[in-house]
A = this chain, B = another copy of it.
């Protein structure tokens, strides 16, 4: 039986890391989206760099870092809208590529499109590389990231001729959605509205009502394809621990799971984690269309995976063969990977997201094995906090996130849409009911993780199309409200 306690931090940090932690496991094809010709950024665009303050909140120094952004003015006219994507944890080129809704709406709205990379991700890392020393990573916080957005937006509005009166619409998915919502609250004068897609704002420590909501909804997604599918996963954990307990079993696992390196005793935690990431993420990205995210996925990838998990009554090796085949759909659908490297970054590699998970964005996570299909483990904030302290020298302060995202605050925002696909496990911590006439919840019952911000696809449901249209209606309303307030209407925008 695995001692889950010691690996607690790994599990919590890794599982609720949104898109980010996938990049640790999927290293082929290369992360750079420019290498992919299949869904490039659908516009002429430039990659630029903004000199950003490392610390916005004291006057001790004025050190700066280069913050990368993607900008396109293909459709823009003077005074016309600016679509600003609030970069979340990841490479901004990847984020620009997968959020087709902005690009596709830009023509209709005559909008400039800008994607700003989040500090400490992609190429926008102060001091060159992520270093867990506090004097280096200590400027990574939601407050600083929001101040980055504010400074940057003010800068483009003052330096790009014709942009001064442009209304800014903010977009963000996942953690980026959380940022978008907070940005509406903290800097309401710098944008006219925001779409916060699949933002689990109510899932942070201090606000989360339970820690097992995610795994429960994840399991429901599996069960809806077939009860056998989730039951196979449920039965596989003990099988994994039994087989990994013998040298012969580990040899079999090394072959069956096509591991790049032979599995050593005690390393089954890595397989556990590799599977956990696959299950938790496929539930997020079970899109109705083929998708090229970190790797390429078929339409409805979970459906494809469940085709491999049909016999929960198989013996231990039979169970693990099924889950391997299923995970392989997720990690290696195109068969590009020759072997699986379960430990690409070394043990518990300190990452930017790990630090954020130990400071601003603590998202309680637990399983019980009953209402979900995961090996049970509990959530222990104190133990987690201790792990954070030993790893980074910081402890989470839940009050920060509470101040940003508690409903009492959120309902004071204006022109803010929370959209959620209800099959996305993160929707269990989303805002699913409107908080006011101006803080609107839109739900896509068959949708997944920020599916509304993805490019339109042939299999889009009518419901998804309707929600995108509603969002465009709201955007139009916000923009027109802005022009009316200024009493200024760009001619070209009206035509």
Contact = CB atoms under 8 A, between A and B. Distances in A.
Interface of A: 55-60, 134-135, 137-141, 143-144, 150-151, 154, 185-190, 359, 394, 399, 403, 406, 408-409, 412-414, 485
A137 B59 contact: yes
Identify the interface centre among A59, A138, A190, A394: most chain B CB within 10 Å of its CB: A59
Contact of A409 (B55, B189, B399): B189
Contacts of A154: 399, 403
A57 B58 contact: yes
B189 A59 contact: no
Nearest to A137: B59
A120 to B, nearest CB: 12
Contacts of A188: 185, 408-409, 412
B59 A57 contact: no
Contacts of A414: 412
B399 A139 contact: no
A140 to B, nearest CB: 8
A59 B187 contact: no
A149 B143 CA distance: 16
18 contacts: A55-B57, A55-B58, A56-B57, A57-B58, A58-B138, A59-B134, A59-B139, A59-B141, A59-B359, A60-B135, A60-B139, A151-B399, A185-B188, A189-B408, A189-B409, A189-B412, A190-B403, A412-B414
Given A58-B141, A59-B394, A143-B57, A187 B403 contact: yes
Nearest to A406: B189
Nearest to A185: B188
Given A57-B141, A138-B59, A186 B189 contact: no
A58 B359 CA distance: 10
B60 A138 contact: yes
Given A189-B412, A412-B189, A144 B57 contact: yes
A114 to B, nearest CB: 18
Nearest to A410: B189
Nearest to A54: B58
A151 B137 CA distance: 23
Nearest to A57: B57
Shortest 8 CB-CB distances between A and B: which pairs? Answer: A189-B409, A188-B412, A57-B57, A189-B408, A59-B138, A60-B138, A58-B138, A189-B406
Contact of A186 (B60, B186, B394, B408): B186
Contacts of A55: 57-58
A60 B189 contact: no
A412 B185 CA distance: 9
Contacts of A139: 58-60
A414 B359 CA distance: 29
A394 to B, nearest CB: 5
Contacts of A399: 151, 154
A370 to B, nearest CB: 33
Contacts of A60: 134-135, 138-139
Contacts of A58: 55, 57-58, 138-139, 141, 144
Contacts of A190: 403
A66 to B, nearest CB: 19
Given A186-B186, A189-B412, A408-B188, A403 B59 contact: no
A485 B359 CA distance: 30
A150 B190 CA distance: 23
Contact of A150 (B57, B403, B412, B485): B403
A137 B60 CA distance: 8
